[in-house]
Structure 1
Amino acid sequence: AISNSGGDWPARLLHRIGRLNLLIQGFKHFDDQPPETQADLRAAVGWTPRKNELLHLPRVQDKWNVIGSWLERDGRLRIQRRWLIGEQTGRTALLLDYAHGRQMFKSNLLIPGSAVTADLIFYPSAAPLRAFVAEQTDTATTISRVRGHTTIAAALQSYTAAIARNPWLPFFHLAIAGVIPVQDGKRWHLTDQQGHSIPIRPKFSQAWHLFSLSGGHPVMIFGEWDGESLAPLSVLVEGRWLDLTVMRGVL
């Protein structure tokens, strides 16, 4: 619940009500919207096309670096998000997988820190992000390089541009180089060399792991931004991408 979840909860509640109203207005004028916005409106209420309905769309071939993953549970349903960044195109892709009970995920071999050459097809959107693997052309290797933003301001600017095209994005990817995890009271932040900072998600339980891995020095971090705080998913340490979501225990 948003109410009473922090001193700024009225502003956050108002923001979400505004997004809901925008969604309602979008459906009221659905036929007047361009096809990409219509697709975003459908996706916002959980209505997405089947993969076989999208096979006619252009493929994007690249060497895709698996930069982060996140697993959610809803009863027996497991939902996995995998984030990929293309080495040549610089595009970011989100792969969504669903599994029930003990069922395996289809992209189970795509682990953070690996890379694979593949053709992806992106779902229609005004800000295309979600995709699926149409064809994998080689076996997984390790990441060689990743494109990211050099400042927090540049990273947030990319988020603002995406939200302007698709206001119903629930979260967005941020890859930021040269940031340091800093604790301020009970809250953690990422601070860049320009002195700008963004808050880390309050429920993020690997903050001390992240701080230890950074050694108090600037590192590159990838995570999910929801417009209010960042959930770090991986960190680049000594040339290797480490999955923060699997780290457990007390340091």
Structure 2
Amino acid sequence: MKPPEFVTSPFLPGEDRQILMDKGIEQLEIWLYDVIKIGLLQYDFAEQSVFEISSRMIDAKLGGIARRLRRLGTLNRADPDWVEQVLRILGDLYLLVSAFKNKKELSSGLITSLYSLAGLNIKKTDLLSLAPVEDHWLVCGVEFEEEENLRSRFTWIMGAKSKRTALLLDFAFGRVDFQTRYLFRHSYQGSLYYYPGSFPIRAHLQDPLVVRKIKTFPASFENIEKYLDVYAHAISLNPWITDFPVCIRNVTLQKSGEKFLMVDSGGQVLPVKNSPDDLWPVYAGLGLQSCSLFGIWDGKEIRILSWDDGFVHQSL
């Protein structure tokens, strides 16, 4: 009989890997305590300094945690928000450590989210055993990242009937291109399979077919307050959500010092993360005209990816 501390599921690692990951978590906890003892201002978070602990996480099959650690080395100490950024990452890591140590107290969905966040990759073919969401899907935004020879593509889609939003995350190594091509403003018909978790966001679109374009965002919130209620619910189910899709209609862009704000019809605001250089053309084109904005909320700022003013659907 399996020890009670091991959780079995087709979407979880086997016992040997769970043991290896648990040992890695123990090393991470020791490192976090060392950082606190030394102090944030005294500890060297340069890339070489975090290389050793991130390498240990790779050896323990905790690639997701290793990426978060490497992010510490990319932060600029001269940034006035540097301490806040570091504390946010360290806080998330400590929360991960606590969750691993108390897995028996977590729901099955949160355990699945925990292992996925830590670095467990679920094969797309394994998702096909789950119930799909059939719909026409509008591509609302596409982003790319590159780290050494690995390219990542983040495609955000929204369902015409289901009104659900999902992230299609794809990878390409070296000179190999992505297997599937997704274009902004295009619509695709297909079966969407969400990766299991406590609040699923990432998904896989099986056999997508290009269909007639959906005219505008199928689902949007009427104000910021209602959106933040949904966001709070999502965070209560999965506290490690870092990028959460947001689409709000009847909003305007307004200037506030060196920053821009997204303002809804009731006057509530969200700070915008995009650089002013990227937003000035949008601001000049829209003026005080209201529009629908789609972007990604990180809990502090929104990163706008696209907008629709009723006549044209554009991306940043």
- 1:215 paired with 2:293, answer no
Tell me the CA shift for residue 188 of structure 1.
1.2
1:203, CA displacement in angstroms?
Answer: 4.0
Structure 1, gaps ≥5 residues long? 245-251
Note if contact 1:127-1:165 (Cα within 8 Å) is conserved in structure 2.
Answer: yes
Q: Give the share of equivalent positions with the same residue, in percent.
A: 28
For 2:186 and 2:274, the matched residues in 1 are separated by: 28
Structure 2: stretches of 5+ with no match in the other structure = 1-74
Whether the 8 Å contact between 1:73 and 1:79 is mirrored in structure 2 is yes
- Aligned counterparts of 1:31 and 1:9: Cα–Cα separation in 2: 35
Q: Distance in 2 between matches of 1:99 and 1:122?
A: 21
Alignment of 1:1-251 (within 5 A): 1=75, 5-6=79-80, 13-108=86-181, 110-136=182-208, 138-145=209-216, 146-201=218-273, 203=275, 205-244=277-316
2:184 partner SS: coil
The amino acid across from 1:5 in the alignment is: D
Structure number with bigger Rg:
2
Q: Which has the higher strand share?
A: 1
Change in Cα spacing, 1:154 to 1:205, as seen in structure 2 (3 Å) is farther
User: Counterparts of 2:262 and 2:232 in 1: how far apart (Å)?
Assistant: 19
- Relative to the length of structure 2, the TM-score reads 0.71
Deviates more, 1:114-123 or 1:235-244: 235-244
CA deviation profile, 1:79-134 (whole Å, cap 9, x unmatched): 110111111111111100111233222331x2221111110111001101100012
Structure 1 length normalisation: TM-score?
0.88
Opposite residue 144 of structure 1, the aligned amino acid is K
Q: CA RMSD in A?
A: 2.0
8 Å CA contact 1:116–1:140 kept in 2: the answer is yes
- Total equivalences in the alignment: 241
Tell me the distance in 2 between the aligned counterparts of 1:234 and 1:71.
Answer: 15
Which protein has the bigger helix share?
2
Displacement, 1:230?
0.9
Partner SS state of residue 210, structure 2: coil
Alpha-carbon contact 1:67-1:241 (below 8 Å) kept: no
Q: How far did 1:39 drift?
A: 1.2
